[in-house]
Chains A and B, each alone.
Chain A
């Protein structure tokens, strides 16, 4: 089978994408498929038309690759592709939109307010901040609505921290979230097709839970899979993750990030196309479930080509 591996792009997660793609290409080679590496750029459509692949493996993260843009293009060109469809990508990339969808579906997610830059620049939204801060309480988390990495995510311990945190978050997106900070264990659940993988726990080593940049980083965070939580808790977490996956219309594979606090699990975000590098969480969870990386890639391809897939 001829598989076009789409990678790169201009997103800030370009580096992760290139590493994911390299690993996928290796696996495809070992599986006996013909992998065609396609850098997302000005010649993408032309290359796709020339190569006529049987399926496209989208190994792109962040804006441009994970937000429905590339997926829409592939739909127009009639090339089947891996991972969630256009609508799910659009919902997942925008945390504000996905939180609305999750709420509507009854999936627990922390309280939040979202603002457009225009609201502050032109509508005087700054005056509304005080009330919101009171309702959410401190500390709160300020983050760009779109974007998959820890960049631009800041803690605000008090009202004085909020304006600078907003300026930082607005550096990445024109919409930002102020979110209630939920204390708890940080978990992630990968889903392949409709099958949940074992729960992964990320434990920061530095002891500074406020250091977002240390998150998901080898050496500064340790990962435990399956997470050392009770069976009942694991079931609740998995059920919540699946509910989130379905509520956002995900298909193929995705990863749901959650916090397990005193009130049970709460969904932080859903990554439509999670990293597939050798340090990424979803492949590690698959491995823990006895699914090799090759098998994972094969399964993701099957799902992309299944007639029921979106």
Chain B
């Protein structure tokens, strides 16, 4: 039998390119540099130890359980599970969401909940609903790297407010709001990941949470609380979510099952006041009609068995050990002058190096040692963050984390030494430190005057 015909599309010719160029929407022009994209593409090589991704570890979910649950769906609900569903999501899915939010002390009205295709779609729908080109959106500095392309694609004017060990600095937020007032502008929303932040790993203090919520009420300002990691706590007392403090008037809540069950099922949600929700539902309808019914059925099965919290706790236990391994490795292998955050939960550590090290360039060097991380620049819309990096501790096991950090430490040490040779500054001899002292575990930026 002859080979099937070559099916890949014919690639554009040069002249076609010009033709397409006139068709692209203006919002496609705010993209990241292709050089950085090419660099990140190399991180996908199989031999690379990647501390770059944000992947949860799905390897401990028992395959037998998964098989039994999916079999039950096939036997009992095949037709429904293969059919379209309501745009807002199934009521049973919303019940699971209410249960998860209840575990963090929140009591949302089920009517205010919409099931989305991952938390990412919730961010996208909010922008679609609220943001016109040029509108101001405020977020943390650094912020979730995956939110930036969303803000950019809606041509938002993204304003980043510095974080420190206690999360977003509210007085800087107030200053930013004053500036906007002066320009006669009102930001469409403030986007925050207050708990175990991606990428910085920090958690907003209770005092700041209260102030943020007060500010939202006083100014009628929408705050988007993105909380993928709240249940992945390794220690200490949980803080009330912004949504709980506010009661849902000005805080829009975004959640996801990605980190507490599976990112592959693409199930997230949003809780918003009814007027906003009405528009969001229309937006969701236009985007994809409804979230996957099949995975909503899977979620229902998983929750019906009653062990979802135990599963989250088991995963959190694994991540706690991995975080410990990472912090110990950082203390051992990163040079004097480097600092990093000590997350009490979540998936990420944020490390900051001496100012002369550009972590984008460092990544090229690190890739030759077969290790990868996310350069800090990805978490900013401007030139900040060039000497920082995000390190993930959920995806790899402890041995990989130790080895990965050791390799990164090695390339940093080479740069530190070279800089010393170039400037005549003798680098401080890296003394082996005991993990328990770890003097470098400090906020990545000290709050001033607080």
Distance in angstroms from B36 CB to nearest chain A CB is 7
Contact mask for chain B residues 361-381; partner A; CB cutoff 8 A; 1 contact, 0 none:
110110100000000000000
Name the A residues within 8 Å of B36 (CB-CB): 213
- Which of B21-29, B117-125, B235-243 participates in binding chain A? B21-29
Name the residue on B nearest A19 (C-beta): B11
User: If A150-B35, A172-B361, A213-B36 touch, does A278 touch B421 (CB 8 Å cutoff)?
Assistant: no
Beyond A151-B361, A279-B17, whether A171 also contacts B415 by CB under 8 A is yes
Say yes or no for B68: interface residue by CB 8 A criterion: no
Q: Chain B residues with Cβ under 8 A from A293's Cβ?
A: 11, 13-14
The residues of B that contact A13 with a CB separation of less than 8 Å are 38
**Could you say which of B14, B38, B367, B418 contacts A149, with CB atoms under 8 Å apart?**
B38
Contacts of A12 in B (CB 8 A): 38-39, 42, 364, 367
Taking a contact as CB atoms under 8 Å apart, the answer to whether A151 and B39 are in contact is yes
Which residues of A have CB within 8 Å of B24?
Answer: 219
Chain B contact patch, size range: 35 or more
Interface contact B42-A287, CB-CB below 8 Å: no
Chain A residues near B12 (CB-CB < 8 A): 278
**B residues within 8 A CB of A261?**
none
Judged by DSSP, the binding face of B is helix
Is the CB of B177 closer than 8 A to any CB of chain A?
no
A-B pair count, CB < 8 Å, reads 119
A278-B422 in contact given A168-B358, A171-B365 (Cβ < 8 Å): no
Q: Write out the residue numbers on chain B whose beta carbons fall within 8 Å of the beta carbon of A286.
A: 14
Q: How far is the CA of A26 from the CA of B9 in the complex (A)?
A: 8
Does B33 have its Cβ within 8 Å of any Cβ on chain A? yes
B370: min CB distance to chain A, Å: 10
Specify which of B6, B15, B422 is in contact with A163 (CB 8 Å cutoff): B422
Asked if A121 and B38 make an inter-chain contact with CB atoms under 8 angstroms apart, the answer reads no
* Docked complex: A277-296 residues within 8 A CB-CB of B: 278-279, 283-288, 292-293
**Considering the complex, which residues of chain A in the window 204-222 have a beta carbon less than 8 Å from any beta carbon of chain B?**
213-214, 217-220
Check: A22 CB closer than 8 A to any chain B CB.
Answer: yes
What distance in Å separates the Cβ of B305 from its nearest Cβ neighbour in chain A? Answer: 43
Q: Which of B38, B45, B411, B419 contacts A10 (CB 8 A)?
A: B45
> Is B83 close to A, CB under 8 A?
no
With A10-B45, A214-B33 already in contact, the answer to whether A29 and B6 are too (CB < 8 A) is yes
Total number of A residues with any Cβ neighbor in B under 8 Å: 46
Q: Are B419 and A164 in contact (CB under 8 A)?
A: yes
Select which of A29, A30, A172, A217 is within 8 A of B33 by beta carbon.
A217
A41 vs chain B, min Cβ distance (A): 10
Q: Are A287's CB and B419's CB within 8 A? A: no
Chain B residues whose C-beta falls within 8 Å of the C-beta of A149 in the assembled complex: 35, 38
Contact, CB under 8 Å: A14 / B41? yes
Does A171 contact B361, Cβ atoms closer than 8 Å?
Answer: yes
Using Cβ atoms and an 8 Å threshold, which residues of chain A touch B14?
278, 283-288, 293
Cβ of B159 under 8 Å from chain A: no
A165 to chain B, nearest CB (A): 9
Question: Residue on B with the closest CB to A216?
Answer: B34
Select one of A23, A169, A288 contacting B11, CB under 8 A.
Answer: A23
- Measured between beta carbons, the chain B residues less than 8 angstroms from A278 are 11-14, 16-17
User: Can you list 23 contacts pairing A with B, beta carbon distance less than 8 Å?
Assistant: A12-B38, A14-B41, A120-B418, A129-B422, A149-B38, A150-B35, A151-B35, A151-B360, A151-B364, A163-B356, A164-B419, A166-B418, A167-B357, A167-B418, A171-B365, A171-B411, A171-B415, A213-B34, A278-B13, A279-B17, A283-B13, A285-B14, A287-B14
